[in-house]
């Protein structure tokens, strides 16, 4: 283990002035905790103690647990090592076994503070018995890496919890109250492999980090490799860890799969044996590659071809070579030919623990979402299915299950022939190949059709998929006589979960990726789509995938839902309308379907259709599920009857969705059908479709498509459309009566925004932080930065904390002024080198933005207020300035903009931010396109009443929308609970002006409460799941930080 002794985080430095905990001091901790737990749980075993040395050797028995409190006979000996040790290590096991024998202890255990393995001493003495027969139980202690942190609650609590289970079971088994536990062969093999991968990763992390800092060519190759996986690269420790884990998984996967294949085809493949004398990594690589090349003669190109990450696996490091030889030796103990393919299947399926998937860049879509998409898109066992970004193969594996369910007589190789996958990265292509192959390892012709390629580099000609490049590549390793492949020209269904990266975020990897994506919107010499560069890559998958799809074939993706509402989604909307029948767009009101990727998603189901009339007369169904998918779809199980039941329930849900041709809503879901010709009209004439009252649009569809907010058909409550219907002559777009401009984007708030205390301290001259008002009086440049500063609609300017600096002079004209010292200080701190400032002629000059009549917070949470800016306060970029065009209507607009009705309209117009954020965001163009009550439609009498009530509401503190309405749930809403001034204002706007009845006004309040509450509840469902960022448990990290601060403050 010498090579990893120097890992700073794992082993204390002998010359460090600070003291560090060793495995021996931590063993004493474990012994103390065992005694405390035994006393607390009243377990009558003897004391646990740490012995300095055994009687017959200089080695210490770390922990001895005695049989009874009055008996000095040893019950169990525990040998402890540092966390980087393999807990199954033969040297560690032998040391513990020998000590157990000398102590005549019936049991011994090996421990690295991450795991504890409990062994039966008598069985371990018998070389005939397998390892899983010698082991009684395994306990997962913690994720600790540094023993100095052993008393940290995030490690101590799980260790103590597992220790309690261990000593309870130890006592029960020893006294005969319970039988000895038995280890399943597949469970043990998985544990063994996981532990070896963990240890290999330690080595690879050090190797990768060291080479990255010392070898410029390697550093460049590593960055390019990351970008090819569509990962961010920062050169930090978590990047090295991620690459190391993937290196380890790839190597172990190759060795394991080779052993399985060799057990099936012993005549074609020799047993994998490494000579004891081999100690060089380069020789290890050459030896293994000779074995792997024999597999390539059969097939499995995606598993055994070589790429950059594979080169890391082998270095001339004695200890690393020893670890690789150990995993080969461990796997050689198993006769895979006799294990049974169901057992082997489970081993491969569970090779990557769920918590590890994010670290490896693999995002797994839930089986419920996958099966729903598959059932929408494919109802025939012979349908040819393509997943163009297949990842680990979830869609393909579930597609396999679906076809098998349709026809139990369908052979494994026949099903594989209908499933096709592609991924740009080696690791997911590798996983997909294995996950399909293991469906029946007993079949000789077991060749999953997985291609590792950039999907946008795959060409489609006038006669379909042009696959000559693929055929030639495969021919290098596969004689045509051995296997004849029929490549589909078109596919019946394209399904998947494509990447969410934006085109503009793609890094330069030496491949002209931008050009490949640009080619995606071309078919022959014709441009078939206008997709914004701001759109996600998934938009281009829809376009390029269309070329692979046969006429009438289905397309099913789960993607970011941003395209429904954002300006740059209009190109995708237009492409759908011109090329597909939109079957269904499905969203969930109550659960995120893709938590790991930190993005809000929807399911899109399309059908390729070249007939314009047929497309435009198609009903696109916008579906909002009000309950989790689990309420509609039973859990996936292996039992045949349960699988059939699950299939039937999915089909039932699809039938329910497709059976409605008019607006339908119940407690479970909502279906909003819209003719595609009306969607076209919606995007060309700035009109909104009202359910069941659709008017016939123009017959021709050649007008310019400007885009529309399709999200309203999913989210908007029915009352929203009733408002549009009743108020069609009294509602206008805000842009008709106002202009909007965002506040300052300074690029360096710390330079431009100062408090008066800071200004006075720096003696900055008043002309730079004050201005003259219309009366010639000097007034500070008051500034508001965030919603937390505003308690009311009308606020006193002096209550705002910051003042903004305006420096509009050349440097030479500032000579002798204190403001110049402020500029020089900024340059000393490299403020002038910030990107936003570098493009300015004078980096320190901030262009003035006229204060608006009203100020709008573009991110809206539970509280809602549009600020009355009669005091002319300047704004940061978190707020928008609203300038009312008609001077006579400025005061009246305060009532309209702060009404509950406007909040409802904004809820539909805005879009929810991703992840665990409960706010919606409204951009400038969205605010301008939001409907409001036309002030010209308000009578003088109504205007006077509104102004009276507005003065009341504007001068009190504004509370959350739930407090304002007096309800936390839609069912709790009643008119008498609403704050009196708000109710008075809303009653005039909604009742007197728009003509909504009291019941309809109640529906407005219910809708606002429901929309905001649903967003919060959906976010909470994300937070409930332990969130990891690059392998770090965020919540536990927060707890640790708080505890550390408490210690320091004592």
Name the packing angle between helices 394-406 and 426-437 (round to 10°).
Answer: 20
Q: Is the pLDDT of residue 924 over 60?
A: yes
Q: Pick from 547, 544, 537, 599: which is nearest to 568 by CA?
A: 537
Could you tell me which residue, 341 or 156, shows the higher pLDDT?
Answer: 156
Q: Is the pLDDT of residue 648 over 80?
A: yes
User: Which domain, by its residues, includes 590?
Assistant: 367-685
Could you tell me which residue, 499 or 735, shows the higher pLDDT?
Answer: 735
Query: Are residues 326 and 430 part of one domain?
Result: no
Please report whether residue 797 resides in a domain.
no
Beta pairing, strands 63-68 & 526-527: unpaired
Please report whether residue 567 resides in a domain.
yes
Q: Is the pLDDT of residue 443 over 90?
A: no
- Over residues 1026-1041, the pLDDT tens digits come to 443 333 343 343 334 3
What is the spatial distance between Cα 606 and Cα 377, in angstroms, rounded to a whole number? 8
Least confident of 68-72, 295-299, 907-911: 295-299
pLDDT of 480 reads 33
Half-sphere exposure of residue 293, counting CA atoms within 13 Å on the CB side? 7
What would the mean pLDDT of 184-201 be, rounded to a whole number?
A: 86
Q: Which of the listed residues 685, 705, 728 is the one where a domain comes to its end? A: 685
- Over residues 567-619, the pLDDT tens digits come to 778 899 999 999 999 999 999 988 888 655 457 889 999 999 999 999 999 99
What is the spatial distance between Cα 1045 and Cα 1050, in angstroms, rounded to a whole number? 9
Could you tell me which residue, 669 or 473, shows the higher pLDDT?
Answer: 669
What would the mean pLDDT of 626-649 be, rounded to a whole number?
A: 90
Q: Which of the listed residues 666, 685, 704 is the one where a domain comes to its end? A: 685
Using 50, 70 and 90 to split pLDDT, how confident is the model at 652? very high
Q: Is the pLDDT of residue 826 over 80?
A: yes
Using 50, 70 and 90 to split pLDDT, how confident is the model at 502? low
Q: Is the pLDDT of residue 697 over 70?
A: no
Query: Are residues 547 and 442 part of one domain?
Result: yes
pLDDT of 1021 reads 60
Please report whether residue 879 resides in a domain.
no
First and final CA of the chain: distance in angstroms? 41
Please report whether residue 845 resides in a domain.
no
CATH of the domain at 457: 3.40.50.150
Query: Are residues 470 and 382 part of one domain?
Result: yes
Query: Are residues 681 and 590 part of one domain?
Result: yes
Please report whether residue 554 resides in a domain.
yes
pLDDT of 351 reads 62
Query: Are residues 625 and 488 part of one domain?
Result: yes
Query: Are residues 234 and 91 part of one domain?
Result: no
What is the spatial distance between Cα 416 and Cα 299, in angstroms, rounded to a whole number? 14
Q: Pick from 98, 108, 23: which is nearest to 55 by CA?
A: 98
pLDDT of 2 reads 37
Structure-token pair, residue 607: 């059908």
Query: Are residues 161 and 261 part of one domain?
Result: no
**Cβ(905)–Cβ(934) under 8 Å?**
no
What is the spatial distance between Cα 571 and Cα 706, in angstroms, rounded to a whole number? 9
DSSP SS3 for 627:
coil
Q: Which of the listed residues 685, 709, 728 is the one where a domain comes to its end? A: 685
Work out the number of other CB atoms within 10 angstroms of the CB of residue 963. Answer: 13
pLDDT of 507 reads 52
Query: Are residues 579 and 465 part of one domain?
Result: yes
- Over residues 791-822, the pLDDT tens digits come to 999 999 999 999 999 999 999 999 999 999 99
What is the spatial distance between Cα 497 and Cα 370, in angstroms, rounded to a whole number? 9
Q: Is the pLDDT of residue 718 over 80?
A: yes
Query: Are residues 388 and 506 part of one domain?
Result: yes
Q: What are the distances in angstroms from CA 935 to CA 518, 563, 734?
A: 46, 32, 11
What is the spatial distance between Cα 22 and Cα 847, in angstroms, rounded to a whole number? 60
Query: Are residues 606 and 557 part of one domain?
Result: yes
**Cβ(114)–Cβ(140) under 8 Å?**
yes
Q: Is the pLDDT of residue 489 over 80?
A: yes
Between CA 895 and CA 899, with CA 896 as vertex, the angle to 5 degrees is: 80
Using 50, 70 and 90 to split pLDDT, how confident is the model at 837? very high
Least confident of 156-165, 299-308, 422-431: 299-308
What would the mean pLDDT of 824-836 be, rounded to a whole number?
A: 92
Domain count, the chain: 3
- pTM exceeds 0.85, yes or no: no
Q: Which helix (H) or strand (E) holds 585?
A: strand 580-588
What is the spatial distance between Cα 999 and Cα 1017, in angstroms, rounded to a whole number? 26
**Cβ(92)–Cβ(110) under 8 Å?**
yes
Could you tell me which residue, 298 or 217, shows the higher pLDDT?
Answer: 217
What is the spatial distance between Cα 878 and Cα 463, in angstroms, rounded to a whole number? 52
Query: Are residues 305 and 425 part of one domain?
Result: no
Could you tell me which residue, 53 or 30, shows the higher pLDDT?
Answer: 30
Which residues touch 299 (CB under 8 Å, ≥6 apart)?
A: 447, 477, 478, 483
What is the spatial distance between Cα 604 and Cα 373, in angstroms, rounded to a whole number? 8
Please report whether residue 506 resides in a domain.
yes
3-state secondary structure 325-376: HHHHHHHHCCCHHHHCHHHHHHHHHCCCCHHHHCCCCCCCCCHHHHHHHHHH
Please report whether residue 312 resides in a domain.
yes
pLDDT of 187 reads 83
Query: Are residues 328 and 409 part of one domain?
Result: no
What would the mean pLDDT of 503-509 be, rounded to a whole number?
A: 50
What is the spatial distance between Cα 968 and Cα 586, in angstroms, rounded to a whole number? 27
Please, is 383 exposed, middle or buried when counting C-beta atoms within 10 Å of its C-beta (0-12, 13-18, 19+)? buried
Between CA 696 and CA 920, with CA 996 as vertex, the angle to 5 degrees is: 80
Please report whether residue 388 resides in a domain.
yes
Q: Is the pLDDT of residue 256 over 50?
A: yes
CATH of the domain at 61: 3.90.1570.30
């Amino acid at each position: 283990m010498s090579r990893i002794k120097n890992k700073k985080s794992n082993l204390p430095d002998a010359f460090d002035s600070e003291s560090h905990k060793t495995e021996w001091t931590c063993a004493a901790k474990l012994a103390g905790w065992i005694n405390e737990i035994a006393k607390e749980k009243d377990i009558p075993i003897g004391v646990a103690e740490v012995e300095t040395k055994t009687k017959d050797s200089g080695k210490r028995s770390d922990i001895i647990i005695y049989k009874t409190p009055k008996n000095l006979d040893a019950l169990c000996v525990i040998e402890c090592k540092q966390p980087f040790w393999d807990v199954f290590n033969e040297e560690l096991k032998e040391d513990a076994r020998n000590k157990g024998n000398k102590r005549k202890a019936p049991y011994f255990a090996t421990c690295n503070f991450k795991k504890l393995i409990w062994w039966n001493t008598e069985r371990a003495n018998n070389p005939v018995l397998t390892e899983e027969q010698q082991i009684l139980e395994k306990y997962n202690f913690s994720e600790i890496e540094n023993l100095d942190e052993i008393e940290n609650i995030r490690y101590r609590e799980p260790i103590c919890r597992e220790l309690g289970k261990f000593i309870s079971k130890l006592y029960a088994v020893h006294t005969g109250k319970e039988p000895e536990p038995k280890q399943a062969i597949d469970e043990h093999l998985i544990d063994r492999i996981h532990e070896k991968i963990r240890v290999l990763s330690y080595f690879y992390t050090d190797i990768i980090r060291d080479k990255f800092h010392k070898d410029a060519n390697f550093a460049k190759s590593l960055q390019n490799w990351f970008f090819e996986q569509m990962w961010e690269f920062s050169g930090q420790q978590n990047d090295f860890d991620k690459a190391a884990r993937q290196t380890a998984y790839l190597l172990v996967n190759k060795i394991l799969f080779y052993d399985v294949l060799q057990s099936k085809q012993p005549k074609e493949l020799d047993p994998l044996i490494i000579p004891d004398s081999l100690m060089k990594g380069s020789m290890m690589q050459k030896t293994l590659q000779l074995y792997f090349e024999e597999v390539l003669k059969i097939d499995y190109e995606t598993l055994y071809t070589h790429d950059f990450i594979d080169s890391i696996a082998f270095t001339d490091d004695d200890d690393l070579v020893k670890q690789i030889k150990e995993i080969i030796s461990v796997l050689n103990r198993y006769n895979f030919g006799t294990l049974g393919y169901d057992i082997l299947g489970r081993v491969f399926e569970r090779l990557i623990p769920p918590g590890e998937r994010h670290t490896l860049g693999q995002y797994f879509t839930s089986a419920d979402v996958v099966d729903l998409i598959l059932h929408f898109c494919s109802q025939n066992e012979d349908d040819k299915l393509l997943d163009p970004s297949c990842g680990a193969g979830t869609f393909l594996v579930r597609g396999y299950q679906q076809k098998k369910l349709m026809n139990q007589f369908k052979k494994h190789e026949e099903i594989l022939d209908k499933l096709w996958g592609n991924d740009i990265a080696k690791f997911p292509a590798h996983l997909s190949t294995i996950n399909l192959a293991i469906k029946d390892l007993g079949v000789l012709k077991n060749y999953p059709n997985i291609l590792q390629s950039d999907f946008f580099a795959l060409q489609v000609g006038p006669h379909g998929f042009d696959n000559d490049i693929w055929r030639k590549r495969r021919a290098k390793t596969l004689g045509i006589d051995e296997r004849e492949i029929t490549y589909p020209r078109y596919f019946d269904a394209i399904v998947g979960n494509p990447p969410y990266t934006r085109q503009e975020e793609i890094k330069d990897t030496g491949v002209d990726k931008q050009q490949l994506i640009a080619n995606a919107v071309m078919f022959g010499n014709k441009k078939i789509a206008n997709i914004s560069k701001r759109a996600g890559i998934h938009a281009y998958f829809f376009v390029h995938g269309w070329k692979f799809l046969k006429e009438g074939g289905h397309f099913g993706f789960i993607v970011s839902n941003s395209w429904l509402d954002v300006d740059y989604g209009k190109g995708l909307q237009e492409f759908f309308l011109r090329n597909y029948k939109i079957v269904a767009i499905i969203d969930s009101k109550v659960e995120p379907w893709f938590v790991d990727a930190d993005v809000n998603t929807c399911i899109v189901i399309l059908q390729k259709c070249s007939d314009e009339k047929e497309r435009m007369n198609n009903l696109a169904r916008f579906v909002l599920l009000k309950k989790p998918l689990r309420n509609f779809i039973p859990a996936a199980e292996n039992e045949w009857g349960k699988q059939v039941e699950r299939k039937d329930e999915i089909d039932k849900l699809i039938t329910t969705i497709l059976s409605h041709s008019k607006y339908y809503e119940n407690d479970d879901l909502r279906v909003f059908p819209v003719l595609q010709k009306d969607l076209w009209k919606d995007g060309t004439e700035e009109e909104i479709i009202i359910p069941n009252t659709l008017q016939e649009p123009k017959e021709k569809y050649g007008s310019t498509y400007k885009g529309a907010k399709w999200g309203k058909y999913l989210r908007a409550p029915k009352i929203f459309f009733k408002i549009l219907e009743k108020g069609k002559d009294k509602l206008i777009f805000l842009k008709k009566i106002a202009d909007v401009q965002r506040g300052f984007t300074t690029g360096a708030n710390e330079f431009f925004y100062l408090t008066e205390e800071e200004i006075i301290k720096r003696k900055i001259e008043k002309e730079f932080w004050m201005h003259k008002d219309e009366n010639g009086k000097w007034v500070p440049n008051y500034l508001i930065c965030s919603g937390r500063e505003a308690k009311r609609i009308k606020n006193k300017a002096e209550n705002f904390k910051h003042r903004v600096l305006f420096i509009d002079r050349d440097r030479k004209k500032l000579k002798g002024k204190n403001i110049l010292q402020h500029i020089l200080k900024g340059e000393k701190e490299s403020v002038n080198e910030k990107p936003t400032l570098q493009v300015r002629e004078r980096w320190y000059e901030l262009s003035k933005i006229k204060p608006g009549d009203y100020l709008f917070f573009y991110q809206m949470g539970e509280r809602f207020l549009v600020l009355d800016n009669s005091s002319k306060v300047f704004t940061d970029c978190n707020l928008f300035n609203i300038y009312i065009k008609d001077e006579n209507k400025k005061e009246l607009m305060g009532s309209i903009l702060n009404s509950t009705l406007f909040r409802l309209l904004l809820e539909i117009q805005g879009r929810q931010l991703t992840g665990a954020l409960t706010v919606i965001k409204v951009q400038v163009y969205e605010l301008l396109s939001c409907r409001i009550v036309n002030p010209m439609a308000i009578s003088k009498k109504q205007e006077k009443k509104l102004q009276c009530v507005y003065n009341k509401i504007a001068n009190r503190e504004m509370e959350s929308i739930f407090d304002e309405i007096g309800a936390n749930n839609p069912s709790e809403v009643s008119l008498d609970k609403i704050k009196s001034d708000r109710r008075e204002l809303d009653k005039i706007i909604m009742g007197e002006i728009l003509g909504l009845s009291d019941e309809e006004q109640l529906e407005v309040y219910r809708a606002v409460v429901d929309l905001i509450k649903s967003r919060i509840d959906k976010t909470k469902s994300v937070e409930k799941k332990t969130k990891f960022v690059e392998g770090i448990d965020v919540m536990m990290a927060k707890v640790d930080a708080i505890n550390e601060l408490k210690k320091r403050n004592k």
